[in-house]
Chains A and B, each alone.
Chain A
């Protein structure tokens, strides 16, 4: 029972959400927010593997999401739609809801491959140097995508909406929500299994003390590169989902700001804590969406109280003042994040009766 708690949790969440959506209780906006929550969870938890569990500092995680988003989009357009770029569809569009996992897997592998390319030179360096290299990689990936005119260049790439629509034509379900929940489930299970395996212990050892790991016989280079590949592959999965939820991708949505969002979620949740980072990703998404309503409200309140000049309107740009401010306050008062590097079951031991993480 405890062992299957995560499976049951995800299963019920999926069924309840889909049922609510079908019954029309959750409107489209709420569903989209929930889907993005899931995507942010995948993105943050994957970054957590490198920055939390392994103790390295990767700053360009958005780049791998970008690779996943583009490769996923291209694959699904090639597979399921008649397009100018790829010609007629490879598979019948009616099969989209069966074969969509192929797209996700392809996108993940492509992103993992890019992860390997970045990891090979960069793991000869450490700490700050890795951070700089990954930022550079982020920029390189975006520049490459922006300079390939065939896939839209700086205009972005679209056509995925048709694939999602053909899924809905086959069966009227909130497909992207379902894929996101499945994706998040696979991602969380994979990371838990990885971190409790012998390999995971090697990752923790590398994080704690590289010299000690080496003299225990850990192949530090291989462990690091593998962890980096898993991490970037899962970011690619998040990217592919993101592209299909929006129905449009643009390289600039995966720039350094996206990578920073990932860092914020990881440090908010607590480095190396999978449950903590999941909570943080949910909280962060809610915060970003919540500010859409809070800022206009604040604007009205401040104007009513005559604290703002009538000519000045508080705009959504203030989001990027408030979010970093939260980060600053967090670093001041709770630098270890929500849960530190502990899991939820360590913070609330009573939960152990219901769920076990390791």
Chain B
């Protein structure tokens, strides 16, 4: 479904990706793991076509969705036409709006459409958000904010969800909850690409994984295989 071939990208003069290739099929959970600065977030931002300087400029290679290149598209078209969206690192929720307003604002692309079904689905997935629906979202805890960020992404009726470090700053218990939710969303038909520092957790949930190191893919394969590989264990899974 998504095919990235020999993608090179840079922030100004600083090269961030040195030609990476990967693919994601419909209904999969794929994880990109690696250390700080490996280019994981950069890859997601490039896929999302965010406006520079937020995202890198692509200098070579191609990104295709169902055989159509998405290089020339802007972020809003990725959301509305490709039906792919991002849960950004650091959540980026609208702090001065309530939980409900955040969700409603995210149905921006669908004017005057009834969104009760999606709201219901999201509140069913995250009961905590239902309890806090009328609360200002900057008063939520970190975990709840992450839920809201995911919920808001779902409001765009996306079929592919990109998540950038969803476990960042979360307590272990909440973190496991978050990944259980991802599994459930995936079972409901969502294709997921998740970038994670917590490689062990990500590989336990994912179907396949790619290991990035300084802008290059150094290993790939089914998640269980990566979990077993000694060199990956030593470098990324804490021995």
Contact = CB atoms under 8 A, between A and B. Distances in A.
Majority DSSP secondary structure for residues of B touching A: loop
B74 A221 contact: yes
B88 A211 contact: yes
B50 A216 contact: no
Instruction: Name, among A210, A214, A220, the residue most crowded by chain B CB atoms within 10 Å (CB to CB).
Output: A214
Interface in B37-73: 48, 50-51, 54
Given A198-B111, A211-B50, A212-B93, A217 B80 contact: yes
Interface string A299-339: 00000000000000000000000000000000000000000
Instruction: Name, among B76, B85, B106, B109, the residue most crowded by chain A CB atoms within 10 Å (CB to CB).
Output: B76
Contacts of B48: 214-215
Nearest to A202: B108
Given A215-B48, A219-B76, A198 B94 contact: no
B208 interface: no
Interface in A198-223: 198, 201-202, 204-205, 208-212, 214-221
A209 B106 CA distance: 13
Nearest to B50: A214
Contacts, number: 70
A217 B82 CA distance: 11
A227 to B, nearest CB: 15
Contacts of B100: none
A215 B94 contact: no
Contacts of B94: 205, 208-209, 212
Nearest to B90: A211
Interface string A209-243: 11110111111110000000000000000000000
Interface size class on chain A is 10 to 19
Contacts of B111: 198
A214 B162 CA distance: 14
A179 B59 CA distance: 55
Given A217-B76, A219-B76, A221-B51, A212 B108 contact: no
A201 B108 contact: yes
Contacts of A210: 51, 54
B92 A220 contact: no
Contacts of A215: 48, 50, 75, 79, 85-86, 88, 92, 153, 156
B12 to A, nearest CB: 14
B204 interface: no
A214 B108 CA distance: 11
B139 interface: no
Contacts of B152: 212, 216
Contact of B51 (A198, A212, A220): A220
Contacts of A211: 50, 54, 88, 92
B108 A218 contact: yes
A271 to B, nearest CB: 13
Contact of A219 (B50, B54, B74): B74
Given A215-B79, A215-B85, A216-B108, A209 B92 contact: yes
Contacts of B93: 209, 212
A202 B79 CA distance: 14
B109 A217 contact: yes
Contacts of A198: 108, 111
Contacts of B86: 215
B79 A217 contact: yes
Contacts of B79: 214-217
Contact of B76 (A209, A212, A220): A220
A76 B85 CA distance: 51
B115 interface: no
A218 B54 CA distance: 15
Nearest to B93: A212
B6 to A, nearest CB: 26
B105 interface: yes
A5 to B, nearest CB: 24
Interface of B: 48, 50-51, 54, 74-76, 79-80, 85-86, 88, 92-97, 105-106, 108-109, 111, 152-153, 155-156
6 contacts: A208-B97, A209-B92, A212-B88, A214-B51, A219-B76, A220-B76
